[in-house]
Amino acid sequence: MDFVQNFPMLSIILSFISVVICSLVPRKVGRYYTMIVNVIVCAMGVTMIIYTAQHGSFNYSMGHFPAPYDNEIRIGILEAILASLFPIIIMLSILGGMDSLEKDVNEKKERFIYVLLNLVQVAIIAMIYTNDVFTAYVFLEISTLASIGLVMIKDKGHTIAAAMRYMIFNLVGSGLFLIGNVLLYATTGYLSMEYIKVALEALQAAGGHQPIITLTFALITLGLGIKSGLFPFYFWMPDTYGEATTTSSCVVSGIISKGYIILLFKYMYRTFGLDLIVSTHMPTILFVLGVLGMIFGSFSAISQKKLNKMVAFSSAAQIGYIYMGLGMGGYGLVAAIFQVICHAIMKPLLFVSSASLIKTAHGKEDFVSLRGVGRKNVVAGVTFTIGALSMVGFPVFAGFVMKFLFVEASVAPTLPKWQMILAVVALVVSTLLNTLYYIRTVMTIFRPKANNERSTRAWPPFSATLSMAGFALLNFAIGTSTAFVDVLEQGLHLLG
């Protein structure tokens, strides 16, 4: 075995060790140590991109017994891309929220946020690489507990209430996911995703097992859907994202919710298989719920009077795009995984920019008070505009490519006519609604005040400026890369 094949496992172990270290060292040491670990884990992920592009995917066993009895991870080009991108997003989220942490979190407790962020990194990388359902469940629960802690660390009345609501929804989702996995193990006798897939295909060929297969996949999908914000279970989003400190909002919205969706991708491709999933009729349900999420999430965002709540509610609409793509199948799956990556970048950019604009407005979040703040805080105003234009689907940004991919998927000849029509209508309506509330917000933050008050320049901290610039550059890089979509399509094809 080549030494670099140990990198995925080493990245998990390094992040685990960092959890212990950050619990013992002072907060500033923990902060910079965590960011250094983020860079190292990202570098390992980039190495895996190069290695899998040259040598193909491979499995890595973490026990003395062969599959299907041990724990196993699987490394392919798609997993490597995600495992290299997410640590950088966590690092940029730390930079973007450093200023808010001093205000929102007690100095004695700040080191614990770095403990939780390293736990998140452990969980996300393990869920990306996992090739067995036991590992999937264990790290899903670690991710759940860490995310609840990230929300609660602000330790304010509204934040505690939001964290409790978030915890209840997540525990319900975890319970359904666990029941689905128990049924899966009871039906097949295996924990390895590859062995489960072979067993399920044999059961379906034998006949008479379709109800239990459908029930199992439905429970797993419903559990992960609740945890990631699928319509109509997205009502925990505005308070969770809007009330948490900036770093927590970025990580929970950009990373943790995507981890659950990536896990669903792995179940669809490697555990059940796309052909078997079609027989459960679950893709049709996901398609309808995704469309409803796109529309109702946008209407909810329009009705908000505060900037953070508007950005939070827009997540429901963006998650709806992902589930619509999952329900479309075919090229819709490529569009869905591209949207996972886009949203993981765009949402933290909007939260960091919003926090800087709100600080410029002396902590006021309502749109009346935010009028003209983009003229004072030009950096945050410009980066918020970049995020908003990407959400709308403006060319050269990642959101444009995402919506173009969904349009391509919508007109595929294999898609039923009613789905084709509904998908196109949903894309048009959702884009118009996105334009309405995001462009309205951009116009508000750059509109001069009624009393012609002279704007005094307000510059965000250097760390926040680095964060916003990093997210904006990632957005632009993905939006202008012609090869990125081809690599994702190849990675999804090899995932199965």
Q: Decide: residue 283, CB within 10 A, 0-12 exposed, 13-18 middle, 19+ buried.
A: buried
Cα distance between residue 156 and residue 287, in whole Å: 38
Which H helix or E strand runs over 75?
strand 72-75
Counting every residue written for the chain, the total comes to: 496
Give the per-residue pLDDT at 63.
67
Instruction: Specify the residue for token string 């050269």.
Output: 396
From 43, 14, 140, 124, select the one nearest 79 (Cα to Cα): 124
Token pair of 31, please?
Answer: 């902060």
Taking the CB of residue 158, how many other CB atoms lie within 10 A of it? 12
Mean pLDDT is lowest, of 154-163, 249-258, 437-446, 463-472, for 154-163
Is 429 or 209 the better-scoring residue by pLDDT? 429
3-state secondary structure of 366: strand
Cα distance between residue 411 and residue 405, in whole Å: 10
- Contact, 58 vs 206, CB < 8 A? no
Q: Does residue 406 fall inside a structural domain?
A: yes
From 87, 60, 231, 237, select the one nearest 151 (Cα to Cα): 237
- Contact, 354 vs 464, CB < 8 A? no
pLDDT confidence bin for 298, thresholds 50/70/90: confident
3-state secondary structure of 369: coil
From 165, 109, 118, 173, select the one nearest 140 (Cα to Cα): 173
Q: Does residue 395 fall inside a structural domain?
A: yes
Q: Does residue 44 fall inside a structural domain?
A: no
Q: Does residue 346 fall inside a structural domain?
A: yes
Per-residue pLDDT, averaged over 107-116, amounts to 87
Structural domain boundaries, residue 405 = 281-496
Q: Phi and psi (nearest 5°) for 204? A: -65, -40
Which H helix or E strand runs over 422?
helix 417-446
Rg (CA), the chain: 22
Instruction: Specify the residue for token string 């965002």.
Output: 301
Mean pLDDT is lowest, of 107-116, 392-401, 424-433, 487-496, for 487-496
Q: How far apart are the first and last CA of the chain?
A: 23
Per-residue pLDDT, averaged over 270-284, amounts to 88
Q: Does residue 126 fall inside a structural domain?
A: no
Cβ-based neighbours of 458, under 8 Å, separated by 6 or more = 360, 376, 377
Cα distance between residue 461 and residue 100, in whole Å: 11
pLDDT confidence bin for 307, thresholds 50/70/90: confident
Cα distance between residue 77 and residue 345, in whole Å: 19
Q: What percent of the chain has pLDDT over 90?
A: 42
Cβ-based neighbours of 425, under 8 Å, separated by 6 or more = none
Give the per-residue pLDDT at 313.
82
Domain count, the chain: 1
Q: Does residue 144 fall inside a structural domain?
A: no
What one-character-per-residue DSSP string does 93-146 give? Answer: HHHHHHHHHHHHS-TTTHHHHHHHHHHHHHHHHHHHHB-BHHHHHHHHHHHHHH
Encode pLDDT of 353-374 as tens digits.
998 898 888 888 888 888 888 8
Token pair of 454, please?
Answer: 């002279």
Give the per-residue pLDDT at 345.
92
Q: Which amino acid is at 14?
A: L
Give the per-residue pLDDT at 69.
59
Give the per-residue pLDDT at 222.
94
Q: What is the Cα 24 distance to its own chain's centre?
A: 29
pLDDT confidence bin for 165, thresholds 50/70/90: confident
